[in-house]
Amino acid sequence: MDKKKLDDNAVDAHTELNSEADANNAAMAVNIVAKSADIPSHSQSSTSATHAKRSGVSWGFLFNLIFILLLTFATCGGGYYLYQELAAQKNRTQALSIELRQAFNEPAKQISRLEIKQQQLASSTNSGIDKLTSNQLQLSERVAQLAQRNPNHWMAEEAKYLVRMAGNKLWLEKDPSTSASLLKAADDRIESMKDPSLTPLRKALATDIAAVSAIKSTDITGTVLTLDNMIEHLHQLPLNRVDVTNAANRPTNPEMTESIDDWQENLTKSWKAFMDDFVVIRKRSTDITPILTPDQQWYLVENIRNKLLQSQFALYRQDQVNYRQSLTLARKWIYQYFDLSKAQTEEALAALDALTTLEIQTPSINHFQSTPMLQQLTTYGNLMVTEASL
């Protein structure tokens, strides 16, 4: 582009030089013609100046026109070049976008393929597990059928049921004596089978019987019934009241005689009556308790009833601490607010003292050793040989 511009400038300079040369030649020709024609010199110079001025204006316009055309061509060329660059950049961007899209699509395809393979593997694994489970169930059913062919199978089932009932009696109803009786009945069923291979089972039953028999039996039912009886007759207990001696019950003053001779005896009687009214001394063996209003009496009885009910609830929950605390507080209120001279109050206090000494023992065993052996016997028809049994 710069070379073309330089060539155009050289052509313009050459053209301008030629124009100046032609102008000089024309001026010289005009001078010669003027001289030969005998024209005045002033007219001739004026004409040549006008011609030279018109020639300069024409060439300047031509130069500007050529410059504008060149500038237009240069602008068009630059715009075309920029358009080509933008088009190339756009093509490169599209190609890069396609490459990136392909690069992102490839991992997604691999992930989908892996998920499909994983699903196939999971389905095959599940089918294998289902097949194994089905085979195991069939095998267990077959073993159970073979075990049921044993004539002693029903006796083993009965022993298993008795042991389960013994567990319910021990852990749910807190009745170790009945539980021990049920375990002994189960041992009798195993003994009647006359099978020497069941000796480990009988040994486990003997251990369970000894452990249950060692538990101290707590008569929870009898204790609860005793508390119920106390609650029902609580309103019959007599309240403790302060005995205030009325004036009507006091000894009457001795009568005075009207004889003047008895003045000494009358003076002695008057002094004694005065001293009896002035100082009164009474002795009490219990604390003085103010008289309760009917509302306070009702609240007192209901609070004692509530404490007795709480002791029953603690007894069922095997809660020794709350059981004793409830009974102790109920006894304190009865001793403080009820008449201790009455037989009903003494019997209630004696019953509460006896109930407070009750010991609640929780079974220390959590399971029977004979339970898994009975499960094996009822399932397989015989005991599985283990190191423990040996």
pLDDT of res. 118:
85
Query: For residue 377, what are the contacts with CB-CB under 8 A and spacing of at least 6?
Result: 156, 160, 198, 201, 383
Give the Cα separation of 352 and 350 in Å (integer): 5
Mean pLDDT in runs of 10 for the chain (390 residues)? 44 46 46 42 48 62 86 87 87 86 80 85 82 81 60 84 92 85 93 90 94 81 88 87 47 62 72 63 52 80 93 86 92 90 90 87 82 88 59
CA dist 274 to 246, 249, 251, 253, 254, Å?
17, 17, 12, 9, 11
Give the Cα separation of 166 and 368 in Å (integer): 9
pLDDT of res. 200:
93
What are 354's two structure tokens?
A: 């006896």
End-to-end Cα distance, the chain? 111
pLDDT of res. 261:
67
> C-alpha angle with apex 215: 213 to 217, nearest 5 degrees?
100
Q: Which residue matches tokens 């040549």? A: 48
Give the Cα separation of 160 and 150 in Å (integer): 16
By three-state DSSP, how is residue 283 classified? Answer: coil
- Provide the residue ranges of all domains of the chain, joining segments of one domain with +: 2-116, 153-217, 220-241+267-356
Query: For residue 135, what are the contacts with CB-CB under 8 A and spacing of at least 6?
Result: none
Tell me the β-bridge partners of 239: 338
By three-state DSSP, how is residue 253 classified? Answer: coil
Cβ atoms of residues 344 and 247 within 8 Å? no
What dihedral angle (degrees, nearest 10) is formed by the CA atoms of 89, 95, 99, 105?
Answer: 120
pLDDT of res. 207:
94
Computed on alpha carbons and rounded to an integer, the radius of gyration of the chain in Å comes to: 66
pLDDT of res. 53:
54
Beta carbons within 10 angstroms of residue 348's beta carbon: 22
Cβ atoms of residues 19 and 52 within 8 Å? no
Give the Cα separation of 239 and 318 in Å (integer): 33
